Amino acid sequence: MGLALTEKFVTPRAGNDKPSGSHRWAVLFLCVFLAGCSATRIVYNKLDWILVWYISDFFTLDDAQQDHLETVVEHNLEWHRRDQLPKYAQLLREIERDFSADVVTLEMLERYHVRFMVLWDEFIVQITPDMTSFFRTLSQEQVDEFIANLEESNQELWEEYAGKTPEERLERRQKSTIKGIERFFGRLSDEQQELIHSYQASLHDVSLDWMASRRQWQQDFRDLIVERPPEPEFSDQMMRLMLEPNSDDSPEYRRRVEENRQTIMAMMVALSADLTDKQRKRFSKNLKKNSRNFEILVGQKT
C-alpha cells in the first residue's frame, strides 16, 4: 500500500499514474488511508469540513454553491465509510498475511495493484456524478478562476518537482522514496538505501512528459466545463475524463511509465528480501493498526 497516489491536479510520480484523472478531494481521501498516520480516525471524522475548505480554495463560491458542495462531500463520505472502508480493511489484512508469510513476489504486488485500481475506479464512478453537478453550477468567471489556480499549481509543482536538473530530480526522488519507505518500515540501513538508489537511478525521467500530459488533461477538462454540452453527453464525457485520464498520452510515454512501475515493483520485492525482523514487525503492525482503524470507522456514526 505504499504506492504513491497522485493525479493531474496534484503531484507527479514515476509509476502507473492512472489515478491522475481524479479531483483533488479523491486524492485527499486516499492520502489519509495510506499515510500510516496514528490520527487516521480523527482526521477521517473531520474530513467533511477539511474537504470543503480544501476544494473551496479553488473557487469563490456563493452561499448556494457552498451548501451544494457541503451536501456533496457529506453524501460521498457516507458512501465511502459504508462501502469502501471495509474493502480497504480487508485488503490491508490480506497484504499483512502474505507479507508475514514471507512470500512477497512480483505476482503478489501486481495482484494487489489490480485490486487497488478496482477500488479506485469504484471511487471515481461514485464521485463523478456529484462532481458533474457541482461544475454545472459554476459561472464562466468561476471556471476561469479555477483554471488560473490550476496553472499556478502547475508552476509551483514544476519548480518543486520538475524544474531542476536531471541529477537534482534523481536526488530528490531518491530522498523522498527513502523517507516514504521508512515511514512504514523504520530506519533503513546503508545497504538498503543503496539498493533503493540503484533502482531509482534506472527510472526514466518523465517529468517533461508528465507536465505536458497534466496540462493537456486540464485543458480537456476546462473545455468540457466551459462548453457543458447537454446531458447525457456532459456526464459521459466527464466520466471518460475521470476514468481514462491517460487516454491521450503518447504510446512512448505510457511505455516509459509502465517500465517505471515495473522497476518500482521489482525494487519493493528486492527490499522485502533484505528487511530485518524488526522492520518486518513494524510494517505488519502498521498494516494491522490501519486495518483496525478502518473497521472502527465503519462502525462509527456519520
**5 located within any domain:** no
Distance CA 77, CA 89 (A): 16
- 11 within a domain of the structure (yes/no): no
Q: Quick check: is 6 in a domain?
A: no
- Supply the pLDDT for residue 176: 87
- Give per-residue pLDDT as tens, 249-293: 999 999 999 999 999 999 999 999 999 999 999 999 989 998 998
Chain mean pLDDT for the chain: 83
Using pLDDT thresholds of 50, 70 and 90, give the confidence band for residue 35.
very low
Number of compact structural domains in the chain: 1
Region 52-80 average pLDDT = 88
Indicate whether 9 belongs to any domain: no
pLDDT over 90 (residue 198): yes
pLDDT computed for residue 7 by the predictor: 42
> What is the pLDDT at residue 251?
94
**Sign of the CA dihedral with 141 first, then 7, 182, and 178 last:** negative
Whether residue 98 is contained in a domain is answered as yes
Q: 257: how many CB neighbours lie within 10 A of its CB?
A: 23
Mean pLDDT within 37-55: 71
d(CA 265, CA 283): 17
- Compare 228 and 40 and report the one with higher pLDDT: 228
Task: Give the pTM.
Answer: 0.81
Does residue 1 or residue 131 have the better pLDDT?
Answer: 131
CB 239 within 8 A of CB 128: yes
Least confident range from 8-17, 61-70, 225-234: namely 8-17
**Model confidence over 183-192: pLDDT tens digits?**
889 999 999 9
Indicate the DSSP class of residue 20: G
Top pLDDT among 162 and 82 is at 82
Residue 10 falls within a domain, yes or no?
no
Tell me the mean pLDDT in the region 219-231: 91
- Between 208 and 36, the more confident residue is 208
Domain range for 271 is: 18-296
Report which of residues 211 and 17 the model is more confident about.
Answer: 211
Judged against a pLDDT cut of 90, whether residue 162 lies above it is answered with no
Per-residue pLDDT, 160? 72
Q: How far is Cα 57 from Cα 198, in angstroms, rounded to an integer? A: 40
Find the range with the poorest average confidence among 20-29, 41-50, 67-76: 20-29
Other CB atoms within a 10 A radius of the CB of residue 248 amount to 11
More confident of the two residues 24 and 182: 182
pLDDT of residue 159: 75
31-45, 87-101, 204-218, 230-244: least confidently modelled range: 31-45
| Cα 301 → chain centroid | 26
* 3, part of any domain: no
Place of cell 484523472: 21
Residue 216 forms part of a structural domain: yes
Distance CA 170, CA 162 (A): 10
